[in-house]
Amino acid sequence: MTLRNGPVRPRFPLSLVHPLGPFFRYLPLSLRRHLLYLRHMRHWGNFATPLLWSEKLQWRILNDRRALLAVASDKLASKALVASIAQRIDTALPLRIPETYWVGTDVRELQRLAARLPQRWVLKPNNSSGRVRLIDASTGPVPWGELVRIGDAWTQPDEESTELGHWGYKEARTLLIAEERIGSGDGPPADLRSQVFDGRLFRLDYSEGYGTSAHRVAEFDRDLDTRIPTGLDIDYGSIDQTPIEAIPRNQREAIRTIVEQIGSAFDYVRVDGYFDGGCYWFGELTAYTSGGLGPFGDELERSAGTAWTLPNLVAPDPREAEWRALLTGTPKGTLQA
């Protein structure tokens, strides 16, 4: 039963100077982001007139307060957005969305539905990132006591909105979700992470075995045929074929069409999903990819920065009411309807 529960918070005395310690959150947001950028990138960033992709991500964190980013950070709103897209596209691959079984704020309520849950399912918070519990009741009893404790913790503010200043997660609804589990393995299925700028796929990363010693990645250009060396020790290597390369070209083109349609409303978003059972499964949207602080090479920094045209925040968003509507209310899962 795999658990990802966000970053490990440092102990004393490191906590006194660490970004996840008790004091960092009280600094002005701009100073926090500059210090984080310097710590990870080893140079000062230009956040006022950014050129690099990582700098533009910092600009977003500091300046962009559009409801669209809250939709990307709210898993249920993202699923509703993608459901509306799935109704109007027709591709060589079905676009599927994991079924939502339950939505609430107290896992004790979910426990009362235990007899109706399938053996394999997933628990996750609606308004955070990097937190998930994979459940498989066929391998042992469901640890409800642990899930209650985790759920209670997940409904509290975490580093996304407190220390890191990722505004969209603060605006997302504080809810817990139990949903359909994709794949049949012990861990999470291999995932597809698609970088989309203005509705155009820029790069797709295939990631297999995340969080394990067998973790491997492969990066593809927009054609989903041309492999781009990552320079990482976990790169698939040119002689190894990924499952994406093994499927017919029209299905690869369908994946590109799907992620471009999902990302069409955004100046930049990462569309996360899975290829499983002959379908593309939507996972979630990521508006703050690695906080713009990941291990990016110079070429990728420049090319992705060029691909990203920052929005005019003064101009009104004609779809603002649509985004706000996706963020209202508390949807019910299929076991609650």
Q: Which two three-digit tokens encode residue 337?
A: 């309807």
Query: What gap in Å lies between CA 337 and CA 332, rounded to an integer?
Result: 6
Residue 293 scores a pLDDT above 60: yes
Residue 171 scores a pLDDT above 80: yes
Whether residue 95 lies inside any domain: the answer is yes
With beta carbons less than 8 A apart as the criterion, state whether 272 and 289 touch.
no
Whether residue 224 lies inside any domain: the answer is yes
Quote the pLDDT of residue 136. 97
Q: What is the overall mean pLDDT for the chain?
A: 95
Q: How far apart are the first and last CA of the chain?
A: 27
Quote the pLDDT of residue 319. 97
Q: Looking at 23-32, 183-192, 230-239, 258-267, which range is the least confident one?
A: 230-239
pLDDT in tens, 122-159: 999 999 999 999 999 999 999 999 999 999 999 999 99
Quote the pLDDT of residue 272. 98
Residue 203 CA, distance from chain mean position: 15
Query: What gap in Å lies between CA 82 and CA 95, rounded to an integer?
Result: 9
Q: Which residue do the tokens 């949807």 mark?
A: 331
Return the CA Rg of the chain: 20
Q: What is the pTM of this model?
A: 0.96
Whether residue 334 lies inside any domain: the answer is no
Based on the structure, what is the number of domains in the chain? Answer: 1
Quote the pLDDT of residue 101. 98
- Per-residue pLDDT band at 103 (split at 50, 70, 90): very high
With beta carbons less than 8 A apart as the criterion, state whether 166 and 61 touch.
yes
Helix axes 53-63, 298-307, angle to 10 degrees: 50
Beta bridge partners, 136, equal: 120
Residue 261 scores a pLDDT above 70: yes
Q: Which residues contact 293 (CB under 8 A, 6 or more apart)?
A: 36, 37, 40, 41, 54
Q: Distance of CA 247 to CAs 41, 206, 209, 250, 254, Å?
A: 37, 14, 20, 8, 11
Q: Which residue do the tokens 């628990």 mark?
A: 123
Mean pLDDT of all residues in 264-280: 96
What is the three-class DSSP state of 68? Answer: helix
CATH of the domain at 70: 3.30.470
Quote the pLDDT of residue 187. 83
Quote the pLDDT of residue 214. 84
Q: Looking at 110-124, 177-191, 257-271, which range is the least confident one?
A: 177-191
Whether residue 320 lies inside any domain: the answer is no
Quote the pLDDT of residue 295. 79
Please work out, in degrees rounded to the nearest 5, the angle formed at the alpha carbon of residue 232 by the alpha carbons of 226 and 236: 50
Whether residue 128 lies inside any domain: the answer is yes
Helix axes 53-63, 29-41, angle to 10 degrees: 160
Query: What gap in Å lies between CA 282 and CA 290, rounded to an integer?
Result: 19
Query: What gap in Å lies between CA 166 and CA 194, rounded to an integer?
Result: 20
- Per-residue pLDDT band at 95 (split at 50, 70, 90): very high
Q: Which residues contact 322 (CB under 8 A, 6 or more apart)?
A: none
- Per-residue pLDDT band at 212 (split at 50, 70, 90): confident
Q: Which two three-digit tokens encode residue 144?
A: 């409800």
Identify which of 315, 286, 55, 305 has the alpha carbon closest to the alpha carbon of residue 166: 286
Cis omega (within 30 of 0) for bond into 13:
yes
Residue 119 scores a pLDDT above 80: yes
Identify which of 87, 144, 137 has the alpha carbon closest to the alpha carbon of residue 112: 144
Range of the domain at 299: 3-310
Residue 153 CA, distance from chain mean position: 20
Quote the pLDDT of residue 240. 80
Whether residue 35 lies inside any domain: the answer is yes
Mean pLDDT of all residues in 202-213: 89
- Per-residue pLDDT band at 230 (split at 50, 70, 90): confident
Residue 2 scores a pLDDT above 60: yes
Residue 201 scores a pLDDT above 80: yes
Whether residue 335 lies inside any domain: the answer is no
- Per-residue pLDDT band at 1 (split at 50, 70, 90): low
Q: Which two three-digit tokens encode residue 132?
A: 């998930």
Residue 203 scores a pLDDT above 90: yes
Whether residue 337 lies inside any domain: the answer is no
